[in-house]
Amino acid sequence: MHGVDARLLSLLDAALDRSIVGGYTRIGYQLRSWGWPQDPQPHALKGKAALVTGANRGIGKAIAKGLAQLGASVLLTVRDETSGELARKEIVDANQDADVQVEVCDVADLSAVREFAADRHEVTLATHVLGPALLTECLLPVLRGAENPRVILMSSGGMYTHSLPTDDPEYFDEPYRGATAYARTKRMQVVLTPILARHWADDGVRVYSMHPGWSDTPGVAASLPAFRALTGPLSRTPEQGVDTAIWLAATDPAPPSGGFWHDWRPRPEHYLPWTRHGEQEREHLWRYCAYSAGIDNAWAQRSGSA
């Protein structure tokens, strides 16, 4: 691609991202994908294994389907075995060569995570932050033996409107609102990504977070019906939403670890000044999460502290 063309595409990409509607809908995906190479290559994940949480519907199922199409052996971790088997059947029916298995593991239940590789934590925090961190820590012996292992956290563009909840991450003191709790945990995922990347770097594990734009999923339909009605005609398909996650999992060479991505490009963590935070707040949140997930001792051993 010529230098002028690359600069024009970069300007278009930035304008789409800041317009929100242009960048997060199918419009942004279609415009940006014109400049994408044929990557990853077919069968790029042949011989590789992938574990997908929440894989029975929506974003999780679309990721599992995309990874299986690239040749990965995919393990669907789900809360309900029946729904997991239905998702597996759908993926295999579309691709007879797909190697897909189902395992029951409620990532929100930290004891279930330990058995796989309750507690009293707020379920949204446990599902999106504590559970994935603990699951990865438990699977480190497997990941160390893998070639180029990667962890990808599915965040949300909704996190851009929320700051880091360091004082009361589990709503002990303030009123609980489900949509706010969700967006705040998505902010936490993005904030913790570079810390987790450093934490697992010596094990050879790369860590990324990304967001899928405005994708039409069962979760959006159930929790934000008015938003879905408003954005429905422009919403991305789940497959368009997860394209970057699949690319991050399969592209070679792997992108630098620790970044936040959308549509094949690293993105800023902040657009609004009141959402910014300092390194001390970031580390405080990580210490809270590591202790809550029960991996603080492993963290201390890696950092060489007592």
Mean pLDDT for the chain overall:
90
What percent of the chain is modeled with pLDDT above 70?
94
95 and 68 in contact (C-beta within 8 Å)? yes
Please give the pLDDT value at position 306: 39
Q: Please indicate, yes or no, if residue 24 is contained in any of the structural domains.
A: no
Q: In terms of C-beta density within 10 A (0-12 exposed, 13-18 middle, 19 or more buried), how is residue 177 classed?
A: exposed
Q: Please indicate, yes or no, if residue 26 is contained in any of the structural domains.
A: no
| Peptide bond before residue 165 is cis, with ω within 30 degrees of 0 | no
Strand partners, 75: 51, 101
Q: Please indicate, yes or no, if residue 300 is contained in any of the structural domains.
A: yes
Active-site residue flag, 291: no
Q: Please indicate, yes or no, if residue 20 is contained in any of the structural domains.
A: no
Which one is predicted more confidently, 168 or 226?
Answer: 168
Question: What's the domain range around 157?
Answer: 41-304
Which of 29, 160, 182, 208 does the annotation list as catalytic?
182
Which one is predicted more confidently, 217 or 202?
Answer: 202
Q: Please indicate, yes or no, if residue 15 is contained in any of the structural domains.
A: no
Q: Please indicate, yes or no, if residue 60 is contained in any of the structural domains.
A: yes
Residue 276: CA count within 13 A, CB half-sphere? 6
DSSP output for 99-147: EEEEEE--TT-HHHHHHH----S-HHHIIIIIHHHHHHHHTHHHHHTSS
Q: Please indicate, yes or no, if residue 13 is contained in any of the structural domains.
A: no
Q: Which amino acid is at 153?
A: L
Is 146's pLDDT higher than 50?
A: yes
| Rounded mean pLDDT, 89-101 | 96
Q: List pLDDT tens digits, range 206-223.
A: 999 999 999 988 777 777
Q: Please indicate, yes or no, if residue 214 is contained in any of the structural domains.
A: yes
Number of independent structural domains in the chain: 1
**Which CATH number characterizes residue 216's domain?**
3.40.50.720
| Rounded mean pLDDT, 158-173 | 89
